[in-house]
Amino acid sequence: MIYKITYGVPDVSSEAIVNEKKVKVVFLEFLNKIFDGYSFEKLDGGFLELKISLKEKTGYYFGFGDKVGPFNRKGRKYVFWNTDDFTHHPGADPLYKSFPFFIYITKNFKFGVFTDYPGFMEIDLDSEGIGEISFRIKGEGFNQYIILEDNVKRILKNYLYLTGKNVAFPFWSFGYQQSRWSYFTQDEVLKVAEEFRERGIPCDVIWLDIDYMDKYKVFTWSQENFPNHREMLKKLHDMGFKVSAILDPGVKVEKGYDVFEEAKEKYFLRDKTGKDFEGAVWPGRVRFPDFSERKVRSWWGKKVKKLFDGGIDGFWNDMNEIAIFASEKDLENVSEKLKCLKLEDGIKVAGALGEIGEIKKKGRGDEIIHLSGKEHYKLKNIYGFNMIRATFGGFPKNKRKLLITRSAYSGVQRYGGVWTGDNHSWWEHILLEMQRINSLSLVGVFNTGFDVGGFGGNVSPELMIRFMQLGLFMPLFRNHSAIGTRRQEPWSFAKEYEDVMKKIIKYRYELIPYLYTKYMMGILNDTPLVVPMFYHFEKDELSYQIFDEFLVGRDLLVAPVYNPGVNKRMVYLPKRALDFNEKNFLKKGWHLVDAPLDKVPHFVLDGSIIFTQKPVEYLKNSYNEELTAHIVAFNDRAIGYLYEDDGESYNYKKGMYNIYKIVYDKGKVNILPRKNGYVHKKRNIRFKVYTKTSLKEFDMEF
């Protein structure tokens, strides 16, 4: 059941909510029914504060998306104020996104709380240890949705009922993806692509960072470095690659530049005097489209369409917190020595000011005014949400999109996915990314990934491999690194390491039938692909304490290594499972398993069937014709699924897909079509049956 309470008089909307029909509207006093009491008051400085006392004080708190810090969010105050923090250590807050939704779990009581406010907000999850949670916003009012259900799955489904279903990504986006800031010229891009094909390392997507543009001007191409970009794109497509390009919101102030000329004094955010607000980002002096306006989104969408029609297959929306190196106001307050700085100096300004972190945190809430007249501090957290919404609008309607954003707000899943921003080549960040992706799943974002190998810093071969062994199981598997750091393409390491990386990437392609099946069934049923153990094993009390293992779909459990020099791992199994490296059964409970550098501990849970395929160079729109069904049936019984569709349109929404339920019972396989909405070629399936006594193999056409 979903309850809605309105506090104060909200004067802005986040547009996160898409369905409210089954919501029950209640008044503040309702809180007394489910909690031990509450208070709500107006504070000085334009703040509103709600405090709630819990009845059961010893619970677990999960959610808030990709904030850092422990997986269980208990005992800390979190700030929602989208911020670019490119060296975020484990205590950093706020970060790029705002997902003000968490789930509280005790043995007898579970609830989810979505506090919908797009401006400045703080949520304190019992930092005093007295069983009190509090919500503080700067603004006039906000809505809160309290979801009372007795399990996490239903809480999440209700949250997705409110904020919208996830949009499916194209089949090819499940392939390996290679990125770097930057591949500076068209020749360099082609060279990278050729290396993949020559070395037989599968890859589907190459990413273009800011240097493909002319002076970082959005919607342009550098004539100097990409003079024949059309030819380059054609060559890449002919080789089976897709290409994804970066889009930053800041539009360079330059006379005669069409994007700027069309938008000036019309589509840009304003300053307090009513003039277009200006800041410094990569291109130097820039202005920022006000994406909260429909007309601005539609103008931006038309520009996106041109790039798409020109051969770009996907986009990442970056710097949209908004990340601004400096504004005129910052430059007024600098010492005499720095008085010569201008916004035109771009990144140099940030460097010279040396205090970029502090400037960013101020967020320009009071400096910027939206075209609607609203202050930016009330709308800051949905700037990125509206940017990806605008970018989404630029694609043809029935075409799936590879589209990710760095800054986001609840509901973003309707338009695209996210990556976790500028992580580092630090061992600590492997564990962190594992937890962030799982936390993103719990706020309903299913299309997720992180910079494999780490964005900042220099990765070691061992760290690169361990990063890849986690990335391999993520919805998006993208290697990305920053300018000035060592190269991270698989061949940038000694041959023995390259060989391991090649094996890992090939394994990703082997797993595609399982990953895509679980992913698409999850899109249909509102169930994330990657989830914490408790999502599927809620009765197992220990599962709430497992912070360094996760499930991919229901049937595959992964326990990556996240420390150097380690070749063993303690693993907790919530039920009997087949160690998929060693192919031996392990009982429910704790195990110490081998994890040499070329192996990532992962397990297929007993009673399930998972499909793999022969690896391919890159993904066409369907599985390879040679599939293997691994039947894990200790007691000679198992169930599994296979999903398929065209992989590129939204026709699945009209039921144009197949789902087969495969039932194995004492030597017999039964294939039951649960849905038959898509025509596929006949193919051969090799069945491998693992039971307590033997491994049997046989083939079947289907």
* Residues engaged in binding ligand GLC (CB under 6 A): 86, 181, 209-210, 246, 318, 406, 421-422, 480
Task: Measure the CA–CA gap between 601 and 581, rounded to whole angstroms.
Answer: 7
Whether the CB-CB separation of 105 and 62 falls below 8 Å is answered with yes
Angle between helices 461-471 and 495-525 (to 10 degrees): 20
Termini Cα distance of the chain: 43
Q: How far is the CB of 242 from ligand GLC (least distance, A)?
A: 18
Catalytic residue (one of 318, 367, 375, 555): 318
**Is the Cβ of residue 23 or residue 210 nearer to ligand GLC in the bound state?**
210
**Is the Cβ of residue 207 or residue 618 nearer to ligand GLC in the bound state?**
207
Q: How far is the CB of 281 from ligand GLC (least distance, A)?
A: 10
Catalytic residue (one of 85, 204, 321, 548): 321
Residue nearest to ligand GLC (CB): 181
Indicate if the alpha-carbon torsion angle 484, 486, 488, 491 is positive or negative: positive
Residue 422 bears catalytic tag: yes
What tokens were used for 277?
A: 């607000």
Which amino acid, residue 364?
A: R
Q: Radius of gyration over alpha carbons of the chain, in Å?
A: 25
- Buried/exposed 417-428: b ≥16 CB within 10 Å, e otherwise: bbbbbbbbbbbe
**Is the Cβ of residue 88 or residue 480 nearer to ligand GLC in the bound state?**
480
Residue 634, judged by CB atoms within 10 A of its CB (0-12, 13-18, 19+), counts as middle
Catalytic residue (one of 422, 433, 510, 644): 422
Whether the CB-CB separation of 496 and 488 falls below 8 Å is answered with no
Whether the CB-CB separation of 463 and 479 falls below 8 Å is answered with no
Task: Measure the CA–CA gap between 464 and 452, rounded to whole angstroms.
Answer: 8
Q: How far is the CB of 179 from ligand GLC (least distance, A)?
A: 8
- Buried/exposed 317-349: b ≥16 CB within 10 Å, e otherwise: bbbbbbbbbbbeebbeebeeeeeebebebbeeb
Q: How far is the CB of 465 from ligand GLC (least distance, A)?
A: 22
Whether the CB-CB separation of 88 and 463 falls below 8 Å is answered with no
Strands (DSSP E) contained in 376-465 are 402-405, 417-419, 448-449, 451-452
Q: How far is the CB of 483 from ligand GLC (least distance, A)?
A: 7
Task: Measure the CA–CA gap between 279 and 658, rounded to whole angstroms.
Answer: 51
Whether the CB-CB separation of 443 and 100 falls below 8 Å is answered with no
Whether the CB-CB separation of 701 and 680 falls below 8 Å is answered with no
Residue 626 bears catalytic tag: no
State the DSSP string of 374-422: -BGGGTGGGHHHHHHHHHHHTS-TTS--EEEESS-BTTGGGT-EEE--S
Which amino acid, residue 125?
A: L
**Is the Cβ of residue 144 or residue 178 nearer to ligand GLC in the bound state?**
178
**Is the Cβ of residue 284 or residue 553 nearer to ligand GLC in the bound state?**
284
**Is the Cβ of residue 122 or residue 489 nearer to ligand GLC in the bound state?**
489
Enumerate the β-bridge partners of residue 146: 3, 113
What tokens were used for 129?
A: 């240890």
**Is the Cβ of residue 186 or residue 423 nearer to ligand GLC in the bound state?**
423
Task: Measure the CA–CA gap between 250 and 274, rounded to whole angstroms.
Answer: 18
Q: How far is the CB of 246 from ligand GLC (least distance, A)?
A: 6
Q: How far is the CB of 421 from ligand GLC (least distance, A)?
A: 5
Checking DSSP bridges between strand 608-613 and strand 637-644, what pairing results, if any?
A: parallel
Task: Measure the CA–CA gap between 677 and 155, rounded to whole angstroms.
Answer: 30
Q: How far is the CB of 329 from ligand GLC (least distance, A)?
A: 23
**Is the Cβ of residue 116 or residue 489 nearer to ligand GLC in the bound state?**
489
Q: How far is the CB of 480 from ligand GLC (least distance, A)?
A: 6
**Is the Cβ of residue 165 or residue 406 nearer to ligand GLC in the bound state?**
406
Residue 526 bears catalytic tag: no
Comparing CA positions, the residue from 548, 527, 542 lying closest to residue 433 is 548
**Is the Cβ of residue 71 or residue 183 nearer to ligand GLC in the bound state?**
183
**Is the Cβ of residue 179 or residue 413 nearer to ligand GLC in the bound state?**
179
**How crowded is residue 221: how many other Cβ atoms within 10 Å of its Cβ?**
21
Whether the CB-CB separation of 666 and 634 falls below 8 Å is answered with no
What tokens were used for 442?
A: 């719990």
**Which one-letter DSSP state was computed for residue 289?**
B
**Is the Cβ of residue 86 or residue 547 nearer to ligand GLC in the bound state?**
86
Residue 373, judged by CB atoms within 10 A of its CB (0-12, 13-18, 19+), counts as exposed
Tell me the CB-side half-sphere exposure of residue 589, using CA atoms within 13 A. 4
Question: Measured in whole angstroms, how far is the alpha carbon of residue 148 from the centre of its chain?
Answer: 26
Catalytic annotation, residues: 318, 321, 422
